[in-house]
Structure 1
Amino acid sequence: MQIEGAGAVVYGGASGLGEATARRLAAEGAHVVVADLAEERAEALASEIGGVGVAANVLDEASIQRAIDAAAEAPRGVRLSVVCAGLGTPTKLLTRKGPTPFDAFEQVIGVNLLGTINAMRLTAQAIAAQEPEDGERGVLIQTASIAAYDGQIGQVAYSASKGGVVGLTLPVARELAAQLIRVVTIAPGLFETPMLAGLPQEAQDSLGASVPHPARLGKPAEYADLVEHIVTNPMLNGEVIRLDGSLRMAPR
């Protein structure tokens, strides 16, 4: 699918992987809607790249719909969504004080999994209403994590939520094939994102050195590279792509 002139919503688009994706899609000529809880950052980035910033919570249908409506103003209508919104709050099953409070699991799984489904279902409806171009209507791209496969101690909710995103990819791709919509998920490893930026530099360097090759943290622009390729390669569908430098996470 061509990117130029396409309406694209990037959920969680104001920072990290989402910001890099928004910048890349805008550079390729998309009409980008930066949808994020951080409204001021979303609007500032959108102003910089010639897009639209919208305050959006992936668990709130009305705010997602506002973002989709803004993307519908594109010359070719809504064609693309990239879900980067998520939480990485650590959770163990048990703590020294007893079981981890249930709402800690609800919050992470709610945003990461149910929020992804919410964004997908509403954007898919908008894309399905478009006229096909070169045999397809659009693409849904989600963000999982290698924690879906080798989650560490303290990642109970996070791994469960990302495992859910991995698990829904194929059935949704099969369902939406009738609407000529492709569905692909990216499972990143360790990347230079706000989630890791709070760590001391020594800790970041150590994490980067754990990656077999290249022995460094991934760059958000490399995630955006893959998004661009997924959009433009019509045979990529129903797949989860690990983007991790062959990293397999240790237990802790």
Structure 2
Amino acid sequence: MDINGVSAIVTGGASGIGAAAARQLAAKGAKVVVADLNAEKGEALAQEIGGAFVSVDVTDTEQIQAAVEKALELGPLWVLVNSAGIGWAQRTIGKDGEFGSAHDIDAFKKVIAINLIGTFDAIRLAATAMSRHEPDADGQRGAIVNMASVAAFDGQIGQASYSASKGGVVGMTLPIARDLSAVGIRVNTIAPGLIDTPIYGEGEPAEQFKAHLGQSVLFPKRLGVPDELASMVVEAVTNSYVNAETIRVDGGIRMPPK
């Protein structure tokens, strides 16, 4: 699928995997809408790649729709990358046997709202816009790539909410791909492993911690880098025969219980 001259939306596009995906899509000729809450980084990236920034909280339908409308101003919308997400770690129950120390239910709901419901909301709105334009010679009208996690399969202790949200993204990939096949829109999901992003901090202690984490990866024994995920995003977008798939990009890691 040729994306030169079309528009694309990347949620969570201001940093990490999202930013790397935005850069690589732009390098292929797409006009990218960086949809993120971080205006400083988002605007800087949009200027760098010749795209546009839209402030988007993916729990707000109107803000997602504004990103879709901005993308349509730049060109026909052919690409959506759902990279916005948050993490949370907490055990299901506390050590004291009290109800009050059990997992924070509002935190659980927030993770689901952002990682799962926000992803679906972006899909339904972007796909609606994609369905309006003329298909290419292969009958395609667009491609959607979601970001899940290996936690969807190998969730660790304390990752109940995060694993549930990412497992939901994996679980809805096939039915949405089947649904949108009627209008020529492909849907795939990528499940990253341990990726070197700002979440781990900076400085020597952070580097030592990341090196230790990397030893649990099958091969190569290091954390992945955002560009390695972004290249898979581009492949899933441009390879017209990749559809309804969840692809692990994780160096072969299988996460231990903790």
TM-score bracket, normalised by the shorter chain, equals over 0.9
Structure 1 match to 2:141: 137
CA deviation after TM superposition for structure 1 residue 209, in Å: 1.6
Structure 1 match to 2:95: 96
Looking at structure 2, the residues matched to 194 and 103 of structure 1 have their Cα atoms a distance apart, in angstroms, of 25
Structure 1 match to 2:243: 237
CA deviation after TM superposition for structure 1 residue 244, in Å: 0.5
Aligned length: 251
Structure 2 match to 1:78: 77
Looking at structure 2, the residues matched to 8 and 196 of structure 1 have their Cα atoms a distance apart, in angstroms, of 29
Provide, for residues 161-215 of structure 1, a one-character-per-residue CA deviation record: whole Å limited to 9, x for no partner: 0000000000000000001000000000000112333672211111112111111
Contact 1:14 1:35 (C-alpha < 8 Å) held by counterparts: yes
> What pairs with 1:154-233 in structure 2 (closer than 5 Å)?
154-197=158-201, 200-233=206-239
CA deviation after TM superposition for structure 1 residue 57, in Å: 0.8
* 1:128 partnered with 2:128: no
Contact 1:187 1:242 (C-alpha < 8 Å) held by counterparts: yes
Question: What is the TM-score normalised by the length of structure 1?
Answer: 0.97
User: Which amino acid in 1 is paired with 2:85?
Assistant: G
Looking at structure 2, the residues matched to 142 and 150 of structure 1 have their Cα atoms a distance apart, in angstroms, of 18
SS in 1 for 2:145: strand
SS in 1 for 2:74: coil
User: Which amino acid in 2 is paired with 1:116?
Assistant: T
Looking at structure 1, the residues matched to 210 and 249 of structure 2 have their Cα atoms a distance apart, in angstroms, of 18
SS in 1 for 2:73: coil
SS in 1 for 2:112: helix
Looking at structure 2, the residues matched to 220 and 157 of structure 1 have their Cα atoms a distance apart, in angstroms, of 24
**Which piece of structure 1 moves more, 178-187 or 201-210?**
201-210
Looking at structure 2, the residues matched to 209 and 101 of structure 1 have their Cα atoms a distance apart, in angstroms, of 32
Looking at structure 1, the residues matched to 116 and 199 of structure 2 have their Cα atoms a distance apart, in angstroms, of 18
Q: Structure 1: 5+ residue runs without aligned partners?
A: none
CA deviation after TM superposition for structure 1 residue 12, in Å: 0.3
Identity level (%): 51
SS in 2 for 1:59: coil
Provide, for residues 111-158 of structure 1, a one-character-per-residue CA deviation record: whole Å limited to 9, x for no partner: 101111111111110111111012200001100000000100010100
Looking at structure 1, the residues matched to 255 and 195 of structure 2 have their Cα atoms a distance apart, in angstroms, of 13
Provide, for residues 64-115 of structure 1, a one-character-per-residue CA deviation record: whole Å limited to 9, x for no partner: 111111111234x000000000001212211235211210101111110111
Contact 1:205 1:216 (C-alpha < 8 Å) held by counterparts: yes
Q: Structure 2: 5+ residue runs without aligned partners?
A: none
Provide, for residues 46-71 of structure 1, a one-character-per-residue CA deviation record: whole Å limited to 9, x for no partner: 01111101100111111111111111
Looking at structure 2, the residues matched to 138 and 236 of structure 1 have their Cα atoms a distance apart, in angstroms, of 12
Looking at structure 1, the residues matched to 136 and 74 of structure 2 have their Cα atoms a distance apart, in angstroms, of 15
The two structures, once aligned, show a CA RMSD in angstroms of 1.2
Structure 1 match to 2:48: 48
Question: What is the TM-score normalised by the length of structure 2?
Answer: 0.95
Structure 2 match to 1:10: 10
CA deviation after TM superposition for structure 1 residue 15, in Å: 0.3
User: Which amino acid in 2 is paired with 1:217?
Assistant: L
Contact 1:10 1:35 (C-alpha < 8 Å) held by counterparts: yes
Looking at structure 1, the residues matched to 90 and 178 of structure 2 have their Cα atoms a distance apart, in angstroms, of 33
* 1:116 partnered with 2:122: no
> What pairs with 1:25-44 in structure 2 (closer than 5 Å)?
25-44=25-44
Looking at structure 1, the residues matched to 133 and 10 of structure 2 have their Cα atoms a distance apart, in angstroms, of 19
Looking at structure 1, the residues matched to 52 and 201 of structure 2 have their Cα atoms a distance apart, in angstroms, of 26
